[in-house]
C-alpha cells in the first residue's frame, strides 16, 4: 500500500481507508490475478453497503480464475478513486464494472470518467483505456442512456452470464488483443450488448434458482441503510403488480430462497461474525416484499429460538402478523416502515396497491399494540386521478395514527415517476407547476402533525427523463460537458415540453 504525498489525495485515501477499516468483511478480494477488475458503485458509500447486487457481483468476480476484483464507490470530491480493498488507485484496473441501480447515478459515471480522462464515448477509447462494463437493476427496464458510454452492457441477473463473460474476455485482455477483438469474444452472449460493435442483446438473464448461489452481505458497516445488519436476499421479483413499480413487471417470475438454504446462510454468517467480532450479527432480510416469503412462519420461529435480532427491507401491510411484530420488537426496535403509497382506497386502487382502508387501519392498530411508537411512511403524489380530497386525506390518516399512540410519524413523498414496462409507461410526470401546488397543499395540511420529506422535483424530472430515455439521451450524456451542465440542459428540455403539454392537459386536478 502506497500512501499518497499530496494532501488532497491523502485526504481521499484516508476517507476510503477509514470506511474499509470499520467494515467487517465476510469475503475478501484475492489480491492477485491476471486481470484486475474495479467494481464500482456509482453512488456514496452508504448506498454501496446496502446494495446486495453489488455484494453479489464482488463475490462472483472473485470466484473467477485469473480475476482479482476490488470495490470502489463514488464521491464527488474524489479524483483518484482508491480501492476499498487494496487502496490502489483505479487507474491500475483494466476492467471497470459499474453496478448501477438508480437512474441519477449515470451522471456520477459520466463525472468519474471525465475526472479520470477516459473518453466518454466508448468508440473513442483505445488500448490504454479500461473496458467499461455496466450491469445492475437499471438494465432490467432501460439501459438506453448507457448506450454511448458503455463497452459492455449485461442485461438482467448477473449470476450465470457474468462468470462466462469475464472468463471469455480475460484471456484476450491478457494477450493484449485490440479492443475490438476483445469485445468480439462476447458477441455470442445473448444477454450482453456491445454498443461499440452495435451488437444488441437478445434477452434478459433470469437466474432461476436462488439456492444455487444465495445473495448475502460480503461486508457490513454501521453506515449502511440497514445499520450493521448482515443482509440476506430471501426472494427476487414480486408476486404483486403495483402499476407504478418496475420490480413486479420486470423481474419475473418471483423466486424465493428455500428455508433450509436460508438457515444455512444465517448460520454461516453467524460463524463469520463470531470469528470477526465475537457475537452474532443482526440480520436484514431483503426482497421486494419479504413478508411474502412463503416460509415466513418457520423463519420467525427459528429467529426467536436463536434469539436473533432482525429487520425486513419492507413490510406489506396486509401481511402483518403479531408474530412478525413481536419478533421485530425483540431488539427493542421502536420504528416501523410502511408503504401504503396513497391515503385513500380510491387512489390505491388506481395504483393497484391492493390495500383497503380497513386493512390499513387494522395494520396500524396492531403495530401500535405491539409497542411501536414511530412510523415511517412512503407515499406517492402527482397521480393524475388524485383530487385535493385525496391529498388532504393524508392529514386525517396521520391524526388517526397519533390517536393510536405514535408520537413520531415521518411521511416521505415521491412524485409518481412513470416507468417503462409498467401499466403507467405511457403516462408523463406531472408538470412542475402542478407538482409544486400539490406539494404545498400537503405541506400545509401536515404542518405540525408529522415530519415530511419530499423528493426534489428537479431530481424527479431527471429521473423521469432517464427512466424512459432513448439512445439520443445517451448522446447528451457523452457530450463532454460537466454533469451539472448536462442536467441543466436536460431540465430545460423537460420544462419546455411540459409547458407545451400543460396547455392541452385535462388531467391536473389541483390548480
Binding site for ligand SF4 (CB under 6 A): 238, 240-242, 245, 247-248, 288-289
Cβ 236 to ligand SF4, closest distance in Å? 11
Closer of 167 and 241 to ligand SF4 (Cβ): 241
The cell numbers describing 220, all together, are 457490513
Question: Are 235 and 257 a contacting pair, CB within 8 Å?
Answer: yes
Report in angstroms how near the CB of residue 288 gets to ligand SF4 at its nearest: 3
169-185 CB burial, b ≥16 within 10 A, e <16: bbebbeeebebeebbbb
Nearer to ligand SF4, 57 or 245 (CB): 245
Provide, rounded to whole angstroms, the least separation between the CB of residue 142 and ligand SF4.
17
**Shortest gap between Cβ of 229 and ligand SF4 (angstroms)?**
20
Asked whether 165 and 189 are in contact (CB, 8 A), the reply is yes
Q: Which is nearer to ligand SF4, 195 or 415 (CB)?
A: 415
Shortest distance in whole angstroms from residue 267 CB to ligand SF4: 28
**Which candidate, 52, 28, 15, 408, places its Cα nearest to that of 229?**
52
List, as one string, the DSSP characters of 446-502.
Answer: HTTTSEEEE--HHHHHHHHHHHH--HHHHHHHTSSS-HHHHHHHHHHHHHHHHHHHH
**Residue 289 to residue 292: CA distance in whole angstroms:** 6
Q: C-beta of 247: minimal distance to ligand SF4 in Å?
A: 4
Q: How far apart are CA 168 and CA 155, in angstroms?
A: 17
- Of 245 and 375, the one with the shorter C-beta distance to ligand SF4 is 245
What letter would DSSP give residue 204? -
Give whichever of 240 and 329 is closer to ligand SF4, judged by the CB atom.
240
Cβ-contact 290, 310 below 8 angstroms: no
Which residues, 6 or more positions from 168, have their beta carbon under 8 angstroms from its beta carbon?
185, 186, 189
CA distances, 209 to each of 63, 192, 239, 260 (Å): 19, 21, 16, 14
For ligand SF4, the closer of residues 116 and 241 by Cβ is: 241
In 3D space, the residue among 229, 231, 227, 226 whose CA is nearest the CA of residue 216 turns out to be 231
Residue 77: name the closest of 10, 139, 159, 170 by CA. 10
Mention every residue, 6+ apart, whose C-beta is less than 8 A from residue 314.
Answer: 288, 289, 290, 291, 337, 339
CB nearer to ligand SF4: pick between 319 and 335: 319
Which residue number, 192 or 377, has a Cβ lying nearer to ligand SF4? Answer: 377
* Total residues found in the chain within this entry: 511
**Contact 33/62 with Cβ under 8 angstroms?**
no
Distance CA 408, CA 451 (A): 8
Q: Measured in whole angstroms, how far is the alpha carbon of residue 350 from the centre of its chain?
A: 25
Name which of 15 and 319 has its Cβ closer to ligand SF4.
Answer: 319
- Least separation, in Å, of the C-beta of 462 and ligand SF4? 22
Contact 451, 413 (CB under 8 A): no
Minimum Å gap between C-beta 352 and ligand SF4 is 8
Q: Which residue has the cell 445488519?
A: 229
| Residue with smaller CB distance to ligand SF4, 85 or 103 | 103
Kindly state the smallest distance separating residue 242's Cβ from ligand SF4, in Å.
3
| Residue 100 or 288 having the CB closest to ligand SF4 | 288
Cβ closer to ligand SF4: 53 or 130?
53
In the complex, the smallest distance separating the C-beta of residue 204 from ligand SF4, rounded to whole angstroms, is: 18
Q: Rounded to a whole number, what is the largest CA-CA distance in the chain?
A: 70
If the CB atoms of residues 292 and 400 are measured against ligand SF4, the closer one turns out to be 292
At residue 41, the 3 state secondary structure works out as strand
Question: Least CB distance from residue 313 to ligand SF4, whole Å?
Answer: 10
Instruction: Kindly state the smallest distance separating residue 228's Cβ from ligand SF4, in Å.
Output: 25
* Cis geometry, peptide bond prior to residue 253 (ω within 30 degrees of 0): yes
Least distance in Å: CB of 338 to ligand SF4? 11
Amino acid at each position: 500500500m502506497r500512501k499518497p504525498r499530496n494532501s488532497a489525495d491523502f485526504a481521499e485515501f484516508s476517507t476510503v481507508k477509514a470506511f474499509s477499516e470499520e467494515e467487517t468483511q465476510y469475503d475478501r478480494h484475492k489480491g492477485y490475478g491476471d486481470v484486475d477488475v474495479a467494481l464500482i458503485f456509482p453512488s456514496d458509500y452508504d448506498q454501496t453497503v446496502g446494495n446486495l447486487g453489488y455484494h453479489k457481483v464482488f463475490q462472483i468476480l472473485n470466484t473467477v480464475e485469473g480475476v482479482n476484483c476490488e470495490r470502489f464507490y463514488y464521491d464527488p470530491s474524489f479524483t483518484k478513486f482508491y480501492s476499498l480493498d487494496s487502496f490502489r488507485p483505479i487507474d491500475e484496473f483494466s476492467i471497470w464494472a459499474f453496478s448501477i441501480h438508480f437512474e441519477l447515478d449515470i451522471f456520477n459515471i459520466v463525472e468519474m470518467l471525465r475526472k479520470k480522462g477516459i473518453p466518454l464515448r466508448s468508440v473513442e477509447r483505445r488500448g490504454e483505456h479500461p473496458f467499461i462494463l455496466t450491469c445492475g437493476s437499471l438494465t432490467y427496464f432501460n439501459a438506453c442512456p448507457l448506450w454511448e458510454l458503455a463497452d459492455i452492457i449485461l442485461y438482467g441477473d448477473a449470476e450465470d452470464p457474468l462468470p462466462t463473460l469475464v472468463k471469455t474476455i480475460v484471456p484476450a485482455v491478457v494477450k493484449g488483443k485490440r479492443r475490438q477483438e476483445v469485445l468480439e469474444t462476447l458477441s455470442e452472449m445473448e444477454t450482453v450488448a456491445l454498443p461499440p460493435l452495435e451488437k444488441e442483446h437478445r434477452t434478459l438473464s433470469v437466474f432461476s434458482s436462488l439456492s444455487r448461489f444465495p445473495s448475502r452481505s460480503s461486508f457490513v458497516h454501521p453506515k449502511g441503510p440497514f445499520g450493521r445488519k448482515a443482509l440476506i436476499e430471501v426472494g427476487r421479483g414480486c408476486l404483486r403488480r403495483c402499476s407504478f413499480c418496475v420490480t413486479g413487471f420486470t423481474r419475473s417470475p418471483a423466486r424465493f430462497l428455500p428455508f433450509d438454504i436460508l438457515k444455512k446462510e444465517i448460520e454461516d454468517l453467524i460463524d463469520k461474525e463470531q470469528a470477526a467480532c465475537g457475537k452474532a450479527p443482526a440480520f436484514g432480510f431483503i426482497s421486494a416484499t419479504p413478508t411474502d416469503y412463503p416460509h415466513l412462519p418457520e423463519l420467525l420461529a427459528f429467529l426467536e429460538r436463536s434469539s436473533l435480532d432482525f429487520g425486513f427491507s419492507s413490510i406489506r401491510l396486509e401481511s402483518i402478523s403479531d408474530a412478525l411484530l413481536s419478533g421485530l420488537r425483540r431488539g427493542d426496535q421502536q420504528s416501523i416502515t410502511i408503504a401504503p403509497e396513497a391515503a385513500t382506497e380510491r387512489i390505491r386502487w388506481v395504483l393497484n396497491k391492493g390495500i383497503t382502508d380497513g386493512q390499513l387501519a387494522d395494520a396500524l392498530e396492531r403495530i401500535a399494540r405491539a409497542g411501536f411508537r414511530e412510523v415511517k411512511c412512503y407515499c406517492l403524489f402527482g397521480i393524475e386521478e388524485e383530487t385535493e380530497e385525496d391529498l388532504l386525506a393524508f392529514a386525517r390518516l396521520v391524526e388517526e395514527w397519533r390517536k393510536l399512540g405514535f408520537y413520531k410519524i415521518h411521511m416521505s413523498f415521491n412524485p409518481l415517476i412513470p416507468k417503462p414496462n409498467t401499466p403507467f409507461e405511457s403516462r408523463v410526470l406531472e408538470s412542475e407547476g402542478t407538482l409544486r401546488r400539490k406539494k404545498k397543499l400537503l405541506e400545509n395540511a401536515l404542518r405540525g402533525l408529522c415530519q415530511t420529506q419530499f423528493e426534489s422535483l428537479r431530481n424527479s424530472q431527471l429521473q423521469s427523463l432517464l427512466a424512459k430515455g432513448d439512445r439520443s439521451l445517451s448522446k447528451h450524456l457523452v457530450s463532454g460537458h460537466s454533469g451539472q451542465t448536462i442536467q441543466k440542459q436536460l431540465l430545460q428540455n423537460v420544462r419546455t415540453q411540459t409547458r407545451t403539454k400543460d396547455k392541452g392537459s385535462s388531467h391536473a386536478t389541483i390548480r
